[in-house]
Amino acid sequence: MGLWAKVRRVVQTAVSDLFSEESDTAVPDQTTVHIQDTQRRLDGLKNDLALALAREQQAETVWRVAQAQGQPGAAELEEQHRAFGQTIAALQAEIDRLQIRLAALTSQSAHLAAREDNVTMLERLHTLQRELDKTAVTLHHELADREEQIAHREDIAAAREEIRSATRLGHDEL
């Protein structure tokens, strides 16, 4: 991936994250793109293999008929049949190679997705911890302020009670 493609991807991701975390403008995962490309190639090769098998069977039939009838071109037909066989073997080898590669890419993709989910959960946990820490500090301050207010009101209520008691004693003495 070129420098400009990387820069474009980073900018797109940053813009997407800036405006909405739920936006569908996110850049597709390159592993997923590679898996899809490999699957398309594999499907194409399987189609080519089916065509080659049909041609090989047809060439074998033509060759066997020519051989049974003693026709002079039977040797060339046999060579054509063998060429189809070699093509089939090459196609099958490539299909096998791509299936192994596809399995490895799929496994890697699943592993990375699991790791990404884990990191996302840890990031959420850290965010929640920071928010809870801030809330705890704020709550602590609010409770301390409230405690002071209640203590102040209790002092005022006690002072009023003392004034009333003193006033009652003064009235009672008179």
Six token digits for residue 52 = 């080659």
The better pLDDT of the pair 17, 94 is held by 94
What is the reported pLDDT for 17? 63
Give the pTM. Answer: 0.55
What is the reported pLDDT for 147? 97
Q: Which residue has the tokens 């069977």?
A: 57
Rounded CA gap, 30 and 99, in Å?
18
Beta carbons within 10 angstroms of residue 50's beta carbon = 11
Q: Which of 36, 74, 80 is nearest to 55 (CA)?
A: 80
Tell me how long the chain is: 174
Tens-digit pLDDT profile for residues 118-142: 999 999 999 999 999 999 999 999 9
What is the reported pLDDT for 163? 92
Q: What stretch of H or E contains 1?
A: none
